[in-house]
Homo-oligomer: A and B are copies of this chain.
Amino acid sequence: MIYFDNAATSYPKPEALYQEIGSRMKRYGANPGRSGHEFGLRTNRAIYETREALNQTFSGDNPLHFVFTANATESINLVILGLLKDGDHVIATETEHNSVLRPLELAKSRGISVSLVSVDEQGRVNPGKIEAEICAQTKLVVCTHASNVTGAIQPIEEIAAITEAHGVFFLVDAAQSAGILPINLSKAKIDFLAITGHKSLYGPQGIGALYVREPMSLPVIKTGGTGSRSSDLNQPDVMPDRFESGTLNTPGVLGLQMGLDFVRLQGREKLFAQEYALTQVLMKELNRIPGIKIYGPPIGEPRVPVVSFNLGDLDSAEVSYILDDEFGIITRGGLHCAPLIHRRLGTSQQGAVRVSLGAFSTKQEIEAFLEAIRAIQKMM
């Protein structure tokens, strides 16, 4: 099997994760933060170390400002639906994933107005267009860091400078970028960073995080037991408890810690360089095949290792199916949960075949994939 669906979830994970997760679950088996016993405190420490690793990875100001969530989607919901009230205005872009677009649609029904900024033909956001939409009611700008369809990388530092200048909150969806692109919270005033653990951070599915720069700026929309201030019926203000209710996903946190270790030991820059180089080979060779149309930034331009394309008028889901069924190559066809960028690309009907690489992708796999595409092209 050749696995080219890393933008959905990275696979495989580092072998250590599969080997050790069970024994770590046993070693750190208590309910952290719910008990004073040594077994619970040991688990607490492992969880705090993971917050520290996140804080280090993203140059944050405080490990406790990283709260654990189930996924980037939950992180985004907590911000959009927690922060925005009737009468507020929010700006996002048409390259957002449904993880942003659907909460925004729900927000609309609560009296919040939404502006979606268009992107260029390569899927890139122009920060000036965001600035032009800011008005007195604007409370939040939301932008994905890297598109799961085009692979385009958005200039989040420039956007952060704009939102900071205008006193507007900035939420970055880092689902496709955390672990592979540089994100420096000490340099860019990103107020909220939505992170998933199971893509380029190589942790398990089911764990994500939200960085919150100013905890008290974000009203709480999910409450419950925290193990702290037990006698208070109000959610405690203390971090991370303010945003973490109910028993934590300790196995997920332990797995994420192993993923963060993997990225740190391999080196984020090295991983990016390696995957980018393979992406460039893939694009160059694909371009030689008659009838291929590649979306997103052209060869030589920055992108995450995601390449979406179509082969003539062939249905993308059909191509993806043939790749799986006849060649054992896993890609994704159809629409990619980001409907507006498909409209911009003109692929709302055809969708696109998406190849997304990971740390374990190889040149040989790229070659086998190209062979398969050539064979399918000949069948046409």
Contacts and interface: CB of A to CB of B under 8 A. Distances in A.
Interface of A: 1, 3, 5, 8-9, 11-13, 17-23, 25-26, 29-31, 34-40, 70-74, 76-77, 81, 97-99, 101-106, 196, 198, 204-208, 220-227, 230-235, 245-252, 255, 317, 320-321, 324-325, 330-339, 342, 348
Contacts of A208: 246
A196 B34 CA distance: 16
A224 B5 contact: no
A8 B35 contact: yes
Nearest to A252: B206
B225 A339 contact: no
Nearest to A255: B251
A2 to B, nearest CB: 11
Given A230-B339, A251-B251, A224 B22 contact: no
B225 A99 contact: yes
Contacts of A101: 233
A32 to B, nearest CB: 9
A54 B325 CA distance: 32
Given A18-B22, A39-B3, A246-B73, A224 B102 contact: yes
Contacts of A106: 220-221, 223, 235
Given A9-B31, A339-B230, A222 B77 contact: yes
Given A34-B332, A224-B77, A324-B38, A251 B102 contact: no
Contacts of A232: 339
Number of copies of this chain that the complex holds = 2
Contacts of A252: 206, 249, 251-252
A105 B225 CA distance: 12
B235 A320 contact: no
B18 A30 contact: no
A15 to B, nearest CB: 9
A337 B5 contact: no
A73 B225 contact: yes
B36 A230 contact: no
B234 A102 contact: yes
A247 B9 contact: yes
